[in-house]
Amino acid sequence: MEESVLSAVRKIDIRFSEVDSMHVVWHGNYAKYFEDAREAFGEKYGLDYLTIYGNGYFAPLVELTFKYKRPLRYGDRAEIRIFYRPTEAAKLVFDYEITDLESGEVVLTGHSVQVFMEKESYQMVWGNPEFFEAWKRKWGMMP
């Protein structure tokens, strides 16, 4: 990935409750792993959900994709990498890679898009909120 892209990492242990009857991670848990990565990103760069909410907005997901390469199993250790993708639009765009820490293999990649919605009116906003513009300037993410 590009050096100018902001990124964060979260390590996870695959728990018994996360696997299905075929002994592999149930596909729905990958969305939770991506959420864990977004939380790690928010903690690292000051763009966590409470900051967004405190500035008067929600950031709902409007797009979420996965590309499976091979399964993770109970007992595996994995690393989730999240990469922020700058855009002029009023949205948060992230790419993801999940790697098996033992083999070093990328087992899954993905992508998500979140938009900003005013928390009082539940209306989507088309322009970047002021706090998000300030965040972009702080991290050198302005076009």
CA distance 72 to 75: 9
In a domain, 2, yes or no: no
What does the pLDDT read at residue 143? 66
What does the pLDDT read at residue 142? 81
In a domain, 107, yes or no: yes
How many CB atoms are closer than 10 A to CB 9?
A: 14
In a domain, 40, yes or no: yes
49-55, long-range: CB < 8 A, 24+ apart: 51/131, 52/116, 52/131, 53/119, 55/129, 55/130, 55/131
pLDDT per position as a tens digit, 95-140: 999 999 999 999 999 999 999 999 999 999 999 999 999 999 999 9
Q: Is the pLDDT of residue 2 over 50?
A: no
Percent share of the chain, pLDDT over 90? 95
CA distance 57 to 60: 10
In a domain, 33, yes or no: yes
In a domain, 83, yes or no: yes
In a domain, 27, yes or no: yes
pLDDT per position as a tens digit, 75-107: 999 999 999 999 999 999 999 999 999 999 999
Say which CATH number the domain at 92 has. Answer: 3.10.129.10
**What is the domain range of residue 34?**
7-138
Residues 122-139 as b/e (b if ≥16 CB within 10 A, e otherwise) read: eeebeebbebbeebbeee
Number of domains in the chain: 1
What does the pLDDT read at residue 5? 86
